[in-house]
Amino acid sequence: MSTYNTLTAEIIEQLQAAAPGNVITGEDINPDYSKDEMPIYGTHAPDCVVVPRSTEEVAAVMKICNENKIPVTPRGAGTGLAGGAVPLYGGVLIDTTKMNQILEYDLENFVVRIQPGVLLNDLAEDCSSKGLLYPPDPGEKFACVGGNVATNAGGMRAVKYGATRDYVRAMTVVLPTGEITHLGATVSKTSSGYSLLNLMIGSEGTLGIITELTLKIIPAPKKVASLIIPFEDLDTCISTVPKFKMAHMDPQALEFMEREIVLSSERYIGRSVFPQVIDGITAGAYLLVTLDANNEDELDALIEQAAELVMEAGAIDVLVADTPNKMKDAWAARSSFLEAIMEETKLLDECDVVVPVNKIASYLAYVNKTGEECGLTIKSFGHAGDGNLHIYQCSNDLTEDEFKARVDKFFELIYAEATALGGLVSGEHGIGSGKIKYLVESVGETNMRLMEGIKHVFDPNMILNPGKVCYRL
């Protein structure tokens, strides 16, 4: 375990010279900097916040901190759910949200160059205005794209288009030593040594700070529609998912959700979108499927094929959202799940375990049974098309200590089951500080040792985002 030095007035003066006008200290530091969106993993205030405007400022700050052995925590919009942006040891927090420019499009090579603080929503809208699509679509639209890359976020469209990793062509990175390096290139393939680019993607700000990104974009599909498909029970709902692939369909998104979480969301947004009772049958679970095509006829044929497929598989009904407003309503309900749960829950924790698609139904049955045995309220939804499940543990009547103890037992059991089924601890939210213990149990000490060895190579003084992913404090 490393020991760190205290941030002195002299070092703060050096930081102010390195990033003039962009250093925040004392009572001016916003309390939000002490936590992310899952405060159950603790709150720790930084001693100083730097809000840089350039790669050079980030590099100068890192050089000072490395020379003085001051811990540094990189942060974007703070929307993480695993404690990854929490400054566990105080020190300096680097807030990249002001590095938020879309720098240029290269439409001959189909890439866009941006700074890391660009919000996902802003990039999506800017691409759409040009008839383009940046396919990664994580649920939190107001997260920074740099943070998406740092956790290799997947999102709703990963089932067809892949995760964030598949769209990163190149990046500029400031290493913990303050060195600036460029990884990758504007090319679609490489066999040029170890892939340092892919090592940086998903490293959660523990190996370097991303200051610029070159991202692949594609022409936007011309026609899109969503289907809301209610089922009487979760097993029937989930068992339908592999049939889409078997039928050679390629949905843009394929989400599942249980009844209770849909009701929470609709209470939160103040309107009903998903049907509750159809022909006297109460819906227990839903699929939300998005299809895209090059023209209206092709889309209509896909919708008809999908409707036949799900009705034969046991769906109660199929509702087609084929106008912008109907699609907006359907996905607004889906996108509000986390906020809805937070609104109704005093104590909350979450995991985004990933299992093989054909194991989802049996795994969720195990999760629900285990949650009941542990005395927790469980609410689940997720990316059914790629096996990435978002499982929330909720309580309104336990003490925090008792809640944490029950959640720990719950996690030990469900992560062990996921590992036994060929799954992994996280599909897109990352490990942060909150899931290290379960990662060790899942991948073993040999792999943890390899990861910590990589960390030492990039960060010899172990100052960058200490206590996250593989570095156990």
Q: For all residues of the chain together, what is the average pLDDT?
A: 95
Q: Read off the tokens for 253.
A: 């998104």
Class of domain 345-430: alpha beta
Strand order in the sheet with 253-258: 319-321, 223-231, 285-293, 253-258, 377-383, 388-395, 347-351
Q: In terms of residues, how long is the chain? A: 473
- Sorted by sequence, the CB contacts under 8 Å of residue 179 that are 6+ apart come out as 59
pLDDT tens readout for residues 33-79 = 999 999 999 999 999 999 999 999 999 999 999 999 999 999 999 99
For residue 2, pLDDT over 80 is answered with no
For residue 1, pLDDT over 60 is answered with no
pLDDT band at 322; cut points 50, 70, 90: confident
Ranges for all domains in the chain classified under CATH 3.30.70.2190: 223-335
Ranges for all domains in the chain classified under CATH 3.30.70.2740: 345-430
Q: Read off the tokens for 360.
A: 């989802």
In this prediction, residues 337-362 reach a mean pLDDT of 93
pLDDT band at 391; cut points 50, 70, 90: very high
Residue 82 has a pLDDT of: 96
pLDDT band at 139; cut points 50, 70, 90: confident
- CA neighbours within 13 Å on the CB side: how many for 140? 20
Amino acid of residue 389: L
How far is CA 217 from its chain centroid? 19
In three-state form (DSSP H/G/I as H, E/B as E, the rest C), the secondary structure along 395-463 is ECCCCHHHHHHHHHHHHHHHHHHHHHCCCECCCCCCCCCCCHHHHHHHHCHHHHHHHHHHHHHHCCCCC
Centre a 10 Å sphere on the Cβ of residue 408 and count the other Cβ atoms it contains.
14
Query: CA 407, 414, 314: angle at the middle one, nearest 5?
Result: 115
pLDDT tens readout for residues 395-408 = 999 999 999 999 99
- Sorted by sequence, the CB contacts under 8 Å of residue 82 that are 6+ apart come out as 36, 38, 41, 426, 429, 430, 431, 432, 433, 434, 435
pLDDT tens readout for residues 190-212 = 899 999 999 999 999 999 999 99
Residue 56 has a pLDDT of: 98
Whether the CB-CB separation of 169 and 113 falls below 8 Å is answered with: no
For residue 231, pLDDT over 80 is answered with yes
User: Cα dihedral angle (363, 369, 375, 381), rounded to 10 degrees?
Assistant: 40
Reduced to 3 states (helix: H, G, I; strand: E, B; else coil), residue 75 is strand
Whether the CB-CB separation of 251 and 290 falls below 8 Å is answered with: yes
- Sorted by sequence, the CB contacts under 8 Å of residue 325 that are 6+ apart come out as none
Whether the CB-CB separation of 196 and 159 falls below 8 Å is answered with: no
Q: Read off the tokens for 24.
A: 């925040």
User: Cα dihedral angle (80, 83, 84, 90), rounded to 10 degrees?
Assistant: 130
Angle of helix 436-443 relative to helix 400-420, nearest 10 degrees, comes to 20
For residue 444, pLDDT over 90 is answered with yes
Whether the CB-CB separation of 157 and 124 falls below 8 Å is answered with: no
Reduced to 3 states (helix: H, G, I; strand: E, B; else coil), residue 469 is coil
Ranges for all domains in the chain classified under CATH 3.30.465.10: 102-219
DSSP-derived letter for residue 152 is T
Cβ-in-10-Å burial (0-12, 13-18, 19+) of 115 comes to buried
pLDDT band at 279; cut points 50, 70, 90: very high
Question: What is 223-335's CATH number, 3.30.870.10, 3.30.70.2190, 2.60.40.10, 3.40.605.10?
Answer: 3.30.70.2190
pLDDT tens readout for residues 302-315 = 999 999 999 999 99
Residue 326 has a pLDDT of: 85
Ranges for all domains in the chain classified under CATH 3.30.43.10: 9-97
Residue indicated by tokens 């939190």 = 140
Q: Parallel, antiparallel, or unpaired: how do β-strands 72-75 and 92-95 relate? A: parallel
Query: CA 452, 62, 78: angle at the middle one, nearest 5?
Result: 75
pLDDT band at 128; cut points 50, 70, 90: very high
Distance CA 54, CA 413 (A): 45
In this prediction, residues 157-175 reach a mean pLDDT of 96
DSSP-derived letter for residue 220 is P
Distance CA 317, CA 380 (A): 22
Task: Kindly report the CATH number that applies to the domain delimited by 102-219.
Answer: 3.30.465.10
- Sorted by sequence, the CB contacts under 8 Å of residue 312 that are 6+ apart come out as none
Q: For the whole model, what pTM was predicted?
A: 0.94
> Which fold, 9-97?
3.30.43
Distance CA 36, CA 82 (A): 8
For residue 119, pLDDT over 70 is answered with yes
Residue 219 has a pLDDT of: 97
pLDDT band at 473; cut points 50, 70, 90: confident
How far is CA 76 from its chain centroid? 13
Centre a 10 Å sphere on the Cβ of residue 24 and count the other Cβ atoms it contains.
16
Centre a 10 Å sphere on the Cβ of residue 62 and count the other Cβ atoms it contains.
28
